[in-house]
């Protein structure tokens, strides 16, 4: 049995022009680890998170949650390894509508461990009334907090966070970070101070032409140990 809670092996992504955006990504996390992903714009940080959630196809590689692979059930995998975008999609209806809609999905409806997103978001300054507002009436920071609270309430095993606090003020950022410190996360941030506060490990992504062309290059390998 694997000793790692979540792992990704040899993840490679090829652009339509045939060039690789990134290659040979290796990640090994234990439960409760928070891996901060860093790198210059354009190296594929967001794309990597989407690959790990099987939202977009990648050229090669494999992800595991313990000994479990995605197999033929991608929707189930996404309930366990959940991507949270930096800017929430312009959903119809309200945050409450979105949460209840997701709960009705076949991959979610039999679960009994869902939390209450309103209670989670209230810790971050979001009111119950705001969860009943249409998404278009919310500010960017309000949308970001509602979206993240919904993801937390769905209780995935691993959160894939794409700059989850980029639209928030410092006091609210501190509260969100405190909540997330109990979760297993891969976390993109461009704030070095946030990295220092939250990271238990760091993955520095670089362009493939800066990697060596052998299988022993560990510049992009993370094995998180406590």
pLDDT of residue 1: 52
Once rounded to an integer, what is the mean pLDDT over residues 135-164? 97
pLDDT of residue 5: 97
pLDDT of residue 221: 43
The tokens for 202 are: 């760091």
Kindly tell me if the per-residue pLDDT of 225 is higher than 80. no
Burial class (CB in 10 A: 0-12, 13-18, 19+), 35: buried
The pLDDT confidence band at residue 207, using thresholds 50, 70 and 90, is confident
The pLDDT confidence band at residue 208, using thresholds 50, 70 and 90, is confident
What mean pLDDT value characterizes the chain?
A: 91
In a domain, 81, yes or no: yes
Kindly tell me if the per-residue pLDDT of 79 is higher than 70. yes
In a domain, 100, yes or no: yes
**Chain center to CA of 129:** 27
In a domain, 147, yes or no: yes
Of 41, 43, 40, residue with least CA distance to 22: 43
54: domain range?
Answer: 6-223
How many domains, the chain? 1
Kindly tell me if the per-residue pLDDT of 165 is higher than 60. yes
Q: In whole angstroms, what is the distance from residue 173 CA to residue 124 CA?
A: 8
Of 115, 97, 105, 98, residue with least CA distance to 77: 105
| Residue 21 three-state SS | strand
- pLDDT tens digit sequence for 46-76: 999 999 999 999 999 999 999 999 999 999 9
The tokens for 179 are: 């909540």
In a domain, 1, yes or no: no
CA distances from 222 to 24, 112, 134, 150, 200 (A): 11, 33, 40, 29, 11
In a domain, 123, yes or no: yes
Of 201, 204, 209, residue with least CA distance to 220: 204
Domain of residue 103, CATH code: 3.40.50.300
In a domain, 113, yes or no: yes
Q: In whole angstroms, what is the distance from residue 143 CA to residue 88 CA?
A: 7
pTM, rounded to two decimals: 0.91
């Amino acid at each position: 049995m694997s000793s790692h809670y979540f792992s990704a092996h040899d993840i490679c992504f090829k652009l339509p022009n045939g060039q690789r955006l990134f290659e040979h990504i290796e990640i090994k996390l234990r439960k409760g680890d928070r891996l901060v992903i860093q790198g210059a714009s354009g190296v594929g940080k967001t794309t990597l998170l989407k690959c790990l959630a099987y939202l977009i196809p990648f050229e090669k590689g494999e992800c595991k949650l313990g000994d479990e692979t995605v197999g033929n059930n991608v929707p189930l995998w996404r309930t366990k390894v959940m991507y949270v975008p930096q800017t929430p999609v312009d959903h119809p209806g309200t945050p409450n509508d979105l949460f209840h809609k997701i709960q009705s999905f076949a991959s979610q409806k039999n679960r009994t461990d869902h939390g209450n997103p309103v209670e989670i978001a209230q810790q971050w300054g979001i009111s119950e009334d705001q969860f009943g507002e249409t998404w278009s009436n919310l500010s960017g920071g309000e949308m970001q907090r509602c979206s993240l609270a919904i993801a937390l309430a769905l209780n995935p095993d691993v959160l894939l966070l794409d700059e989850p606090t980029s639209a928030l003020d410092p006091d609210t950022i501190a509260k969100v970070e405190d909540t997330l410190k109990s979760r297993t996360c891969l976390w993109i941030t461009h704030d070095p101070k946030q990295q220092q506060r939250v990271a238990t490990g760091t993955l520095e992504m670089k362009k493939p032409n800066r990697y060596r062309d052998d299988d022993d290059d560990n510049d992009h390998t993370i094995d998180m140990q406590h």
